[in-house]
């Protein structure tokens, strides 16, 4: 029982955190649709997250020669293209 309450509390906290990072706007032409955008607070996090992403890449792939890293990226791009995946950050 206690774990259920803790899980619910965590979900509510994450939802509140997400609300501060995302902004929702109703589309005038069709009020059923909404646009979701990063809040100013979320946009301020982007440079820090990009730096962490670069550090992660270096930590896991930094030992690989440039030619192997390029081949790995090309292989992942191929999977995205062949599977028709959309909205995948491949750059």
Domain boundaries, the chain: 1-38, 40-91
Q: What is the pLDDT of residue 31?
A: 76
Q: What is the pLDDT of residue 21?
A: 86
Query: Which residue is listed with tokens 């965590």?
Result: 10
Given a cut of 50, the residues of the chain with pLDDT beneath it are 1
Q: What is the pLDDT of residue 15?
A: 76
Q: What is the pLDDT of residue 71?
A: 96
pLDDT digits (tens, 9 = 90+) for 22-48: 888 888 888 788 888 889 999 999 999
Q: Which helix (H) or strand (E) holds 38?
A: strand 34-38
């Amino acid at each position: 029982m206690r774990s259920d309450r803790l899980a619910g509390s965590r979900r509510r906290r994450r939802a509140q955190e997400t609300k501060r990072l995302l902004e929702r706007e109703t589309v005038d032409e069709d009020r059923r649709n909404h646009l979701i955008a990063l809040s100013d607070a979320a946009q301020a996090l982007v440079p820090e997250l990009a730096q962490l992403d670069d550090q992660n890449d270096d930590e896991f792939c930094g030992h690989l020669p440039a030619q192997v890293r390029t081949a790995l990226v090309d292989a992942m791009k191929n999977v995205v293209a062949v599977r028709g995946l959309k909205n995948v950050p491949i750059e």
